Amino acid sequence: MALELQVLTPEKKIFEGSVVSVKVPGNDGPFEVLRDHAPIMASLQNPGILEIKDATGQQTRLRLLGGVVEVLHNKIVVLSPGIGEEQG
């Protein structure tokens, strides 16, 4: 089973799909989520950069204005109240 990522904000669904790894800006320090990561809930830095890497090796960076992340059974849900402009 692949690693599934959802990035949700109140205004819209920012990202949904399979990824290889996600670097999460946790409040206690950034960490990277790969397949079979242990279940975790963490609050996010405001602002913090979320780095997504998908199967083709392409990277996406999102500027999150805080929020929370939950990882459970290879499913990552990022809830953020808002998102800044994307950067390369």
Partner 1 sequence: MANLKEVRVRIASVVSTQQITKAMKMVSASKLRRAQGAIQQIRPYAEGLQSMVGRLVSGLEGSAAEMPLTSVREIKRVGVVLLTSDKGLCGGFNSNLIKTARRFIQDLPDDQQATLIPVGRKGVDFFKRSGLPQDLRFKDLMLKIRYQATAEMAAELSKAFVQGEYDQVVVIYSEFKNPVVQYYRVMPWLPLQAESPSASTTGPGAGAGQGAADYLYEPGREEIVQDLLPFSLAIDLHKAMLDTQASEHGARMTAMDKATENAGDLLRELRLQYNRARQAAITTEITEIVGGAAALAG
Least CB distance to partner 1 at residue 53 (A): 21
- What is the torsion angle, in degrees rounded to the nearest 10, for the CA atoms of residue 12, residue 9, residue 64 and residue 23? -90
> Is the CB of 5 or the CB of 52 nearer to partner 1?
5
Subset of residues 11 to 40 that bind partner 1, contact rule: CB under 8 A:
11-13, 26-28, 31, 38-40
> Is the CB of 49 or the CB of 79 nearer to partner 1?
79
Residue 1, interface with partner 1 (CB under 8 A)?
Answer: no
Buried b (16+ CB within 10 A) or exposed e, 5-33: bebebeeeebbeeebbbbbbbbeeeeeeb
Residue 55, interface with partner 1 (CB under 8 A)?
Answer: no
Binding residues for partner 1, per CB under 8 A?
6, 8-13, 26-28, 31, 38-43, 66-68, 70, 72-73, 75, 77, 79, 81-82
